[in-house]
């Protein structure tokens, strides 16, 4: 009997996907691999409503978080947390000696645009990190309301963890900035 998984991840894999995964490997430097990456990038552009370049990574979400916080912070990171994955951004910063401050909200509440504006208005930060859909608490941060605030600070980069929401929730990347 096949057991069904009712958890945030790993997820159930459809038989046709499993069958495709059982086909022979292709070389990562081959024309077939380049074609496959182009096809994936094109589909991701549609899913994320963007015309921008898509960078594919074979790492976990945590690997991308670590790379982002290390590469995008020159001064200090403002880490907004509504649960375990928000805190993970802060743990990544601390483990990598990246200066960061953690801004948490009470359990079950979302980060507000006003909170972000208050923090960024200090001028201390050049990076903001936020989790779009926090699976540990069930809270979805209103990134569409936060985007105009971040846009007021052109020297601030924002990194959004959308691992559990991209493709399931409409995220219009080009409109968010």
* CATH 3.20.20.150 is the classification of domain 61-176: no
The full set of domain ranges for the chain reads 61-176
Q: Rounded mean pLDDT of 22-35?
A: 94
Number of Cβ within 10 Å of residue 12's Cβ equals 11
For the cut 90, the answer to whether the pLDDT of residue 35 exceeds it is: yes
For the cut 70, the answer to whether the pLDDT of residue 1 exceeds it is: no
Q: Which tokens in the block code for residue 138?
A: 């069930």
Tens of pLDDT, residues 125-157: 999 999 999 999 999 999 999 999 999 999 999
Tens of pLDDT, residues 37-86: 999 999 999 999 999 999 888 888 899 999 999 999 999 999 999 999 99
Residue of 82, 131, 142, 145 lying closest to 108 (CA atoms): 82
Tens of pLDDT, residues 83-117: 999 999 999 999 999 999 999 999 999 999 999 99
Percent of the residues in the chain that have a pLDDT greater than 90, as a whole number: 85
- Report the half-sphere exposure of 77 (CA within 13 A, side-chain side): 30
- CA-CA distances (angstroms) from residue 127 to 18, 70, 78, 105? 39, 10, 6, 19
DSSP the chain: -PPPP-SSSS----HHHHHHHTSPP--TTSHHHHHHHHHHHHHHHHHTT--S------S-HHHHHHHHHHHH-SS-EEEEESSHHHHHHHHHHHHTT--EEEEE--TT----HHHHHHHHTTS--SEEEEESEETTTTEE--HHHHHHHHHT-TT-EEEEE-TTTBTTB---HHHH-
Q: Which of 17-21, 80-84, 110-114, 159-163 is least confident?
A: 17-21
Q: What is the pTM of this model?
A: 0.85
For the cut 70, the answer to whether the pLDDT of residue 163 exceeds it is: yes
């Amino acid at each position: 009997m096949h057991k069904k998984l009712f958890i945030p991840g790993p997820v159930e894999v459809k038989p046709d996907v499993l069958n495709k995964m059982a086909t022979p490997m292709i070389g990562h430097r081959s024309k077939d691999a380049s074609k496959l990456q182009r096809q994936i990038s094109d589909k991701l552009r549609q899913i994320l409503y963007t015309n921008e370049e898509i960078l594919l990574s074979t790492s976990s979400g945590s690997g991308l978080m670590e790379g982002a916080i290390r590469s995008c912070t020159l001064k200090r990171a403002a880490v907004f947390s509504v649960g375990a994955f928000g805190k993970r951004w802060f743990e990544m910063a601390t483990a990598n000696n990246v200066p960061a401050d953690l801004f948490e909200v009470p359990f079950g509440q979302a980060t507000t645009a006003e909170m972000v504006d208050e923090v960024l208005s200090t001028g201390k930060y050049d990076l903001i990190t936020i989790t779009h859909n926090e699976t540990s608490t069930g809270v979805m941060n209103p990134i569409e309301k936060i985007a105009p605030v971040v846009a007021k600070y052109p020297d601030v980069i924002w990194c959004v963890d959308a691992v559990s929401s991209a493709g399931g929730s409409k995220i219009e990347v080009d409109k968010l900035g």
